[in-house]
Amino acid sequence: MSIRIGIYDFFARVIPGGFCLAAFLYILARYFSFSINFVKLSTTQLIALGTIAYVIGFVLTPLSYFLYRYFEPKNLYEKTIEELSRKLPAVEICYKSMDWGTLLSYIKRHNMDMGLDVENFNVVSIMLRNLSICMLLFAIIFCFEFIFINRLPSLILFCNVCFISAILLLIESIVFRKWFYRAVYQSVVALVANPEDLAVKFKSN
- Look at residue 1 in the predicted model and tell me its pLDDT: 46
Q: Which residue, 42, 24, 43, 44, is CA-closest to 34? A: 24
- Look at residue 162 in the predicted model and tell me its pLDDT: 92
pLDDT tens figures, 76-106 = 877 887 777 777 666 666 656 567 778 888 8
pLDDT tens figures, 5-27 = 566 767 788 888 888 888 888 88
- Look at residue 92 in the predicted model and tell me its pLDDT: 66
- Look at residue 199 in the predicted model and tell me its pLDDT: 59
Question: CA angle, corner 144, sides to 142 and 145, nearest 5?
Answer: 65
Residue ranges, the chain, pLDDT below 50: 1-2
In the chain, pLDDT over 90 holds for what percent of residues? 17
Q: Which residue, 95, 72, 74, is CA-closest to 171? A: 72
- Look at residue 128 in the predicted model and tell me its pLDDT: 92
Pairwise CA distance, residues 11 & 14, whole Å:
6
> What is the DSSP annotation of 44-95?
HHHHHHHHHHHHHHHHHHHHHHHHHTTTSPTTHHHHHHHHHHHH-TTS---G
- Look at residue 34 in the predicted model and tell me its pLDDT: 76
- Look at residue 2 in the predicted model and tell me its pLDDT: 47
Is residue 127 within 8 Å of residue 15, measured between CB atoms?
yes
Mean of all residue pLDDT scores within the chain: 81
- Look at residue 58 in the predicted model and tell me its pLDDT: 86
